[in-house]
A and B are shown apart, each in its own frame.
Chain A
């Protein structure tokens, strides 16, 4: 039981490049989330998916898109990366209220 996994662990992009952050969970959880963590800002919710087939915006959705591919996978896409998107990105999943987090993806946009 791997829990929540994220790929890649690290990524460096140039401004304007695109990429997709992958997240998968093997706990059969209905809900999945994407957060970004910046120094002094705590965790901010980007998007979430309450169940397969649904997605909703969180606090900071601009510049991102998401796909809930199936119950296990929830991906986050940056279509045109900007330096302001340099951050650590965490995926989480939840069977109800309690959330369980992945190890994070560290993204640097130059």
Chain B
């Protein structure tokens, strides 16, 4: 079945770049997403990439997609303390009855 894997924790110093990685299993996924969850809040859509793209940049965020390796990454440039949150990778699989499949989330801690 579909599965989305992420490392659980990442710690970076303020001002450094953060790279959060994700692997997925469904090679026919059409969209891949990154959501951000701040403490005590719901999930906020951060960015997404269509499967025919390799890269998408939006201000401090860069999404890289390697379809051959089924690998998705989110790079946050100049990481700030306000970036501390849990980041979820999600895919829309082409099979099954689950509209979105989420990874377990990567908790990013930014050290001042």
A-side residues, CB < 8 A to B, are 4, 31, 33, 40-43, 45, 48, 56-59, 90, 92, 94, 97-104
Contacts and interface: CB of A to CB of B under 8 A. Distances in A.
B81 to A, nearest CB: 22
A43 B42 contact: no
Main secondary structure of the interface of A (DSSP, over half): strand
B88 interface: yes
Given A31-B99, A41-B104, A43-B102, A101 B88 contact: no
Interface of B: 8, 30-31, 33, 35, 41-45, 48, 88, 92, 97-100, 102-105
Given A41-B104, A42-B105, A101 B31 contact: no
A43 B102 CA distance: 6
Contacts of B48: 98
A100 B99 contact: no
Contact of B42 (A41, A42, A90, A98): A90
